[in-house]
Structure 1
């Protein structure tokens, strides 16, 4: 049996190894690792590319981004976004037609209201919704407050409307008037104009856009459950294209149980 020298043995094994698939596998693994490192470095937040993306996003954001999130009307935004996704996915036209019909049912009619919403009608619907509770608790009228504010140097007028089904309990020995924020519901309105009042006992009706609202002590949100007509009207004023017409005073409204 021939004795191979170490040099001959190494030469033989190198030749066999070189002819196998293993070197190719190692090369592929090395290339893959290299590319992963390059891509990860490229997209790191401190890298040039990552930094460029961050700056581009910053530049694209509006200066008043908080106002946009607060005031942006969502009905057209949602509908357009859905249509664009369906079109990009080449969804069959029949499905798109059915989907658009569903959108219309949500955003129109019993969904978000456009045009005008009467504060008197909204509060009347609110009162009707709580008449049973009022009868049980012997409430004469809900607690409704309409207070004027200012636009913090902008020259515009704001109107703040707070309401709660339960009146103030002035008969209590420990009575203390609730703060405005303690009432369950509220609307804050940017007044945009005024006109002759429909009712002769009022000088004029002011109207404007609701820029903030609270329902059941929670800020109105797009995923909030809306059940009654008055809640739908309030949500429409916040999310839709409707304007609020302030056409009543708190004293104009009661549960009518003792009239």
Structure 2
């Protein structure tokens, strides 16, 4: 094949190709790629639009976001996830309905105070066990306050009175008591009420020997207040002493 023949063939094929639909399709594809890259650059992490969106989202996030996720707060988002889990778990519809009602009850505004009084919380606990205490002739529950080496407060408590073990001359260890609340305080000591009493957050809790997260049975005032503290955004006001409580059967 001569050079002239090859040249004529190329001109012929280029002319035929240009007259067809393929050049337009190729151009369209590259235009699409060009616009896609431009939009990606605008909305990408390092683009101007992406940076503005990122800054706007950061500004909208709550200031205590780390605390919210650290404690797995009992808010609407968590409630929704729990409901979805139950709905797809194969349990009976009636059980799902009752579980949802329990969640909704705990999430009602009147059960989620901004600050919970420790006095009210422990008095509610005492009220829950007054009937049994009267039958057993218990004078007062076993409630112990123990300061943490890190500046927090551990509260161990049991419906039974403080008494020596029948097998030992020593009283029960606080770790053998059925219930516990662990409170942390702001290290700067700024969280106080108008009387100078400390206000903290509950970061761990145990009820009847079990971690609070292992059971959903928030029926009594005590259980609902504790749920507000552990799962919600409520703070706790330390406004009492460990000897302030009695079943009142000898009053």
TM class by smaller structure: 0.5 to 0.7
Contact 1:189/1:211 (8 A) holds in 2: yes
Deviation sequence 1:183-214 (CA, Å, 0-9, x none): 111110111322343xxxxxx42111100000
d(CA) in 2 for partners of 1:174, 1:82? 45
Structure 1 pair 224–116 and aligned structure 2 pair: CA distance change class (3 A): same
| 2:200 alignment partner in structure 1 | 208
Structure 1 pair 158–80 and aligned structure 2 pair: CA distance change class (3 A): same
d(CA) in 2 for partners of 1:248, 1:128? 16
Give 1:218 shift: 0.5
- 1:13-162 alignment, distance < 5 Å: 71-79=71-79, 105-109=105-109, 112-151=111-150, 157-162=151-156
d(CA) in 1 for partners of 2:231, 2:184? 14
Give 1:215 shift: 0.7
Moved more, 122-131 or 218-227: 218-227
Of 164, 184, 195, the match for 2:193: 195
d(CA) in 2 for partners of 1:102, 1:258? 36
Contact 1:208/1:245 (8 A) holds in 2: yes
Contact 1:70/1:212 (8 A) holds in 2: no
Q: Does 1:244 align with 2:242?
A: no
- 1:220-231 alignment, distance < 5 Å: 220-221=212-213, 223-231=215-223
Structure 1 pair 161–101 and aligned structure 2 pair: CA distance change class (3 A): closer
d(CA) in 2 for partners of 1:120, 1:178? 24
Give 1:106 shift: 4.4
Structure 2: gaps spanning 5 or more residues: 1-66, 85-99
d(CA) in 2 for partners of 1:181, 1:102? 30
d(CA) in 2 for partners of 1:171, 1:101? 42
| 2:88 alignment partner in structure 1 | none
Task: Provide the aligned length of Structure 1 versus Structure 2.
Answer: 167
Query: Taking structure 1 as the reference length, what is the TM-score of the superposition?
Result: 0.56
Q: Does 1:254 align with 2:246?
A: yes
Structure 1 pair 172–104 and aligned structure 2 pair: CA distance change class (3 A): closer
d(CA) in 2 for partners of 1:179, 1:108? 37
Structure 1 pair 140–101 and aligned structure 2 pair: CA distance change class (3 A): closer
